[in-house]
């Protein structure tokens, strides 16, 4: 267990950024933390270095990502179709199946050393869900958890249950990677080319669809601020903006 618990989280808004360089950046941050943890093992407790934590928010151009436990047949569009809709396809090392990222969607990547917080992946996932549940509650939406299915849902247990936020993470030596994707002004047509998260009978939705109006760029920024606020509260962290 880390004796120098650091609950300060460096926050960065990457704006609109392609998926691959965003992933590479996450991997670099993760590697730096892990390298430090490995180095700490050979040091006396009072000489060990404090590890850092990071939280990135980003919007990606159209991309489909397939988790390592996912099934490629859940990608319904072929290469030609992907070109036509200006989307790319990437296999990633997170858990979960296939998901879509695109404009009008807020994607969050916490790269946390969980030894700074708690060593419990299940609790980590529930905390991430809680951040989103609290965020969308500010818009009058009752986000819920669906048993056995990660992410945040509306009207769980009803025939018209729908997912508003997808999640998929990876952890190595208690350092997290990947995160969540919250649909705001997302073009929902892009979900027609996949079986989202490999779940055939469930729909996906967005804040725009639920509120029946497009959210303004100012409101998008406001949602990011709300996510940051609830992240701080739920994780009992301190956020510093890089």
Write the Ramachandran bin of 148: left for phi over 0, alpha for psi from -120 to 50, otherwise beta: left
CA 212 distance to own-chain centroid? 24
Specify the residue for token string 């009978």: 201
CA dihedral (70, 73, 74, 76) positive or negative: positive
Helix, strand, or coil here: 117?
coil
**Feature table: binding site:** 94-101, 166-168, 179-181
List the catalytic residue out of 66, 197, 207, 227: 197
Measured distance CA(73)–CA(50) in Å, rounded: 43
Q: Among candidates 196, 25, 166, which has minimal Cα distance to 105? A: 166
Q: Which two tokens stand for residue 197?
A: 């998260």
Q: Catalytic residue at 165?
A: no
Q: What is the pLDDT along the chain (242 residues), one digit of tens a residue?
A: 445 789 999 999 999 999 999 999 999 999 999 999 999 999 998 899 999 999 999 999 999 998 888 888 888 889 899 999 999 999 998 877 888 999 999 999 999 999 999 999 999 999 999 999 999 999 999 999 999 889 999 999 999 999 999 999 999 999 999 999 999 999 999 999 988 665 666 789 999 999 999 999 999 999 999 999 999 999 999 999 98
Per-position DSSP letters for 175-229, written without gaps between them: EEEEEEEEESS--GGGGGGB-GGG-TT-EE--HHHHHTSPPPHHHHHHHHHHHHH
**Feature table: binding site for substrate:** 94-101, 166-168, 179-181
Helix, strand, or coil here: 119?
coil
pTM equals 0.94
Q: Which residues contact 62 (CB under 8 A, 6 or more apart)?
A: 85, 86, 87, 88, 100, 101, 102, 103, 190
Specify the residue for token string 């934590």: 53
């Amino acid at each position: 267990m880390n004796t120098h618990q650091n609950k300060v989280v460096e926050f960065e808004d990457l704006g609109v950024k392609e998926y691959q360089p965003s992933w590479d950046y996450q991997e670099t941050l993760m590697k730096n933390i892990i390298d430090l943890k490995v180095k700490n093992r050979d040091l006396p407790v009072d000489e060990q270095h404090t590890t850092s934590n990071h939280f990135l928010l980003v919007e990606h151009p159209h991309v489909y990502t397939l988790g390592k436990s996912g099934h490629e047949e859940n990608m319904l569009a072929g290469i030609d179709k992907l070109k036509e809709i200006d989307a790319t396809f990437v296999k990633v090392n997170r858990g979960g199946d296939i998901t879509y990222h695109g404009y009008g969607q807020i994607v969050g990547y916490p790269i946390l050393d969980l030894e700074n917080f708690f060593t419990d992946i299940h609790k980590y996932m529930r905390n991430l869900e809680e951040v989103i549940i609290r965020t969308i509650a500010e818009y009058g939406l009752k986000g819920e958890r669906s048993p056995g299915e990660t992410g945040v849902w509306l009207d769980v247990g009803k025939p018209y249950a729908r997912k508003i936020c997808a999640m998929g993470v990876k952890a190595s030596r208690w350092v997290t990677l990947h995160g969540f994707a919250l649909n705001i002004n997302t073009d929902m047509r892009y979900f027609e080319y996949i079986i989202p998260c490999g779940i055939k009978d469930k729909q996906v939705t967005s804040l725009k669809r639920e509120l029946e109006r497009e959210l303004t760029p100012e409101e998008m920024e406001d949602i990011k601020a709300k996510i940051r606020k609830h992240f701080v509260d739920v994780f009992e962290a301190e956020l510093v903006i890089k």
